[in-house]
Structure 1
Amino acid sequence: MARRDGRLGVGIIGAGRVGPVIGAALAGAGHAITGITSGSDDERASAVLPGAPVLDALEVIRRSELVVIAVPHDELPGLVQGIADAGGWQLGQLVLHTDPAYGIEVLRPAAERGAIPLAVHPAIAFTGTSMDLRQLQASFAAVTAPAAVLPIAQALAVELGAEPVVIAEADRAAYAEAIATASEFSRAIVGQATALLSQVGVENPGGYLSALVTSTVEQALRAAPGPLDPPTT
């Protein structure tokens, strides 16, 4: 599906915190953005991905060789099935979702109509701003895909700026649990600690804890099994 110049026409379904950033990263790698759907914060999406046409989902798919789906977890299965029912998916089209918990099975309705299913989850906390593009350059991405097209999914992760790590379909639930545990626990503990500091009169509790939390997390990561090696991309 690639054009002769090697670029893909990339469409984004989902204009929340993740979709526009993924689009901007792929645009930075030389791909062409064909369109994006309207979402929860179109103004923010436009700031990250300026000039991208805002289209309905079926038109985004019609124009695109690679469709990136970045929607809430509970919406993904119904969206994929609904597009299939409407005859939207195209033969040979790459369809990539970014949800940590799902592998490629959730994309079966698209695959049954000839699309190529890919699951790529960059392991960062997205803010929905251009700051995320820098975070991607020091990140890893969980990649799940059929064996024949796994190199495509890995290459797309690299183009995002991340180092791909292959996660088996059967392991996606455990992977998602690990991501949720790290994210939610970190937020809860920092929130509790900053609230306590506020109670004792510390005016900038977040700033006060910044160096402590960062250094503590780094030490914990270095004590974890395996080396703490940053990506080289």
Structure 2
Amino acid sequence: MGTPHGLRPARLKVGIISAGRVGTALGVALEDAEHVVVACSAISTASRQRAERRLPDTPVLPVDEVAGSAELLILAVPDAELATLVAGLAATSAVTPGAIVVHTSGANGIGVLAPLTEQGSVPLAIHPAMTFTGADEDIARLPGTCFGITAADEIGYAIAQSLVLEIGGEPFRVREDARTLYHAALAHASNHLVTVIADALEALRAAIAGQELLGQELVGDYPGGLAERVIAPLARAALENTLHRGQAALTGPVARGDAAAVAAHLAALTEVDPDLAEAYRAASLRTAQRAHAPKEVFEVLNR
């Protein structure tokens, strides 16, 4: 897919603060799009090793030198560190006026970049809606990933859109005042999915451990075992069905109105871990609301 109206940013000198999972993945993608990562910052040993592996021709420099060398400056730091970093860059006038400054925070719009905007920078919020583990798969997943973009004006949106399209992503606009809601939706979909699956695996291991068939591997708490192989196709099917069929994908005892089964689930889970049972209760209550379950189900869940 081409850039909007044929717009294609000039080849830019890119600086990255810092060489974390997101920053280095974007650095590789931008270099593949013929931009040049001229400098990056890396403090921890892990960051330095990641920079050396992913961006071997890029010098690791102090933050102010990275900022001063960049036409496109990417601030890929944790959300909690972003405002402090921006304040420090502004206080030292480290960023060249006219430079494009991009942060990758999902929770923030361009307001957090105001100190640099006042000094002549072009502020952009470009957030990849993807989880990053530091593995090479991060880079491979960027093409096709959706990116939430926020800018100050239509020129900024055109620049952000072009940059995302260049690396194979799909840009979409997020209003400044909707960034928190946007971030909450993504956290709910990704972070809480991990928790739900991890809880399900814990319960399943408790149900099947110690009764393995002859020659079967022992059920343990390590990843990739029998419990994961049982859950994986079920969880993948549920996710795909929801994405393609919406609410119609919902099945199970809550959706069927089987209050007795729900009560039995809660009792069994409580024996394994009361906290796990309470998590199941909370998720089941929300499921019951979505499914318009009969009052008997709500009575069980609200005991």
**1:149-180: CA deviations, max 9, x gaps?**
21001111112321000001011010011011
- From 180, 193, 217, the counterpart of 1:186: 193
- Which sections of structure 2, spanning at least 5 residues, go unmatched? 1-8, 210-218, 248-303
Answering whether residue 171 of structure 2 is matched by residue 167 of structure 1, we say: no
Once residues 8 and 145 of structure 1 are traced to their aligned partners in structure 2, the CA distance between those partners, rounded to angstroms, is: 19
- Which sections of structure 1, spanning at least 5 residues, go unmatched? 226-233
Higher relative contact order (CA 8 A, sep 6+): 1
TM-score, normalising length: structure 2: 0.70
Deviation at 1:36, TM superposition (A): 0.9
- From 7, 11, 16, the counterpart of 2:11: 7
Equivalent position of 2:83 in the other structure = 77
Answering whether residue 55 of structure 2 is matched by residue 33 of structure 1, we say: no
Is the partner of 2:21 in helix, strand or coil? coil
- From 149, 155, 168, the counterpart of 2:156: 149
- From 130, 135, 144, the counterpart of 1:124: 130
Once residues 89 and 246 of structure 2 are traced to their aligned partners in structure 1, the CA distance between those partners, rounded to angstroms, is: 42
- From 115, 135, 139, the counterpart of 2:141: 135
Is the partner of 1:18 in helix, strand or coil? helix
Once residues 90 and 228 of structure 2 are traced to their aligned partners in structure 1, the CA distance between those partners, rounded to angstroms, is: 46
Is the partner of 1:172 in helix, strand or coil? helix
Once residues 229 and 58 of structure 2 are traced to their aligned partners in structure 1, the CA distance between those partners, rounded to angstroms, is: 36
Once residues 16 and 101 of structure 2 are traced to their aligned partners in structure 1, the CA distance between those partners, rounded to angstroms, is: 10
Instruction: Give the CA RMSD over aligned residues.
Output: 1.6
Amino acid at match of 2:82: L
Residues matched between the structures, number? 221
Once residues 209 and 62 of structure 1 are traced to their aligned partners in structure 2, the CA distance between those partners, rounded to angstroms, is: 50
- Percentage identity across aligned positions? 38
Is the partner of 1:53 in helix, strand or coil? coil
Amino acid at match of 1:105: G
- From 13, 23, 36, the counterpart of 2:27: 23
Once residues 156 and 95 of structure 2 are traced to their aligned partners in structure 1, the CA distance between those partners, rounded to angstroms, is: 18
Deviation at 1:56, TM superposition (A): 0.7
Deviation at 1:216, TM superposition (A): 1.1
Structure with more of its chain in helix, by fraction: 2
Equivalent position of 2:105 in the other structure = 99
> Does structure 1 conserve the Cα–Cα contact (< 8 Å) formed by 2:70 and 2:96?
no
Name the larger-Rg structure.
2
